[in-house]
Amino acid sequence: MQSFPIEETTFLLPGPAGAMEVLTATPKEAPIIKGTAIICHPHPLFSGTMHNKVVTTLARVFRDLGLRTVRFNFRGVGQSEGIHDTGRGETDDVIVLAEWVKTVCPKDELWLAGFSFGGFVAAAAATRLSSVKQLVSIAPMVSRFYEAHLPPITCPWLIVQGEQDEVIAPEETYAWIETLQPKPELIRMPNAGHFFHGKLMELRRQLETALK
């Protein structure tokens, strides 16, 4: 793909492990922010795909802000080739996507976002890309951050954590955030579980308020 599609489009891009299935969309309104956001989905071994509802909510928020959006399926999901690589290869894939975005939209800001396992992958990519203007992590997989020993993340960083998360212990997230320098901005969502069932509209409102 030599240019960013005007209409919502699904296509294949070459990646380090083979073809990557990519879904792009362009905002219909004049942009508030001239940028492109790459969004990473939750764990592929637990049914995570680029069509996950939290990922879709992120895409809608970004388009409302005027950003183009890039979603993609991790290795072995949908039409994406390769096999799951515990975050290492998936991070490499984000780097390739970021290089593609910079080629087709050279004047755009680059935003990265992810949910759960995807929150870790997006953050890991942010440590390798000097041009990230905003990082957004929804219920990030904290255990992976401890295992990976990532360098400090210095770009603006927003984390959203549900206080009733049944997958990632909220207190573990809050304790981990206290170890970070610089500290990210944190939004706590009372009564929200890991998948934000019944809370997606509230998640959308919180994100829009924080990112505008």
Per-residue pLDDT, 2? 85
- The helix, strand and coil proportions of the chain, stated in percent and rounded to the nearest 5, come to 35, 25, 40
In a domain, 4, yes or no: no
Per-residue pLDDT, 31? 61
In a domain, 116, yes or no: yes
Q: Three-state secondary structure along 49-85?
A: CCCCHHHHHHHHHHHHHCCEEEEECCCCCCCCCCCCC
In a domain, 3, yes or no: no
In a domain, 96, yes or no: yes
Instruction: Give me the CATH number covering residue 73.
Output: 3.40.50.1820
Per-residue pLDDT, 24? 98
In a domain, 142, yes or no: yes
Number of domains forming the structure of the chain: 1
In a domain, 50, yes or no: yes
In a domain, 206, yes or no: yes
* Beta-strand pair 68-72/18-25: antiparallel
Per-residue pLDDT, 29? 75
- State how far Cα 21 lies from the chain centre: 16
Q: Is the dihedral of CA 165, 64, 55, 16 positive or negative?
A: negative
For 35, the domain range is 9-211
pLDDT tens across the length of the chain (212 residues): 789 999 999 999 999 999 999 999 999 876 667 899 999 999 999 999 999 999 999 999 999 999 999 999 999 999 999 999 999 999 999 999 999 999 999 999 999 999 999 999 999 999 999 999 999 999 999 999 999 999 999 999 999 999 999 999 999 999 999 999 999 999 999 999 999 999 999 999 999 999 98
In a domain, 2, yes or no: no
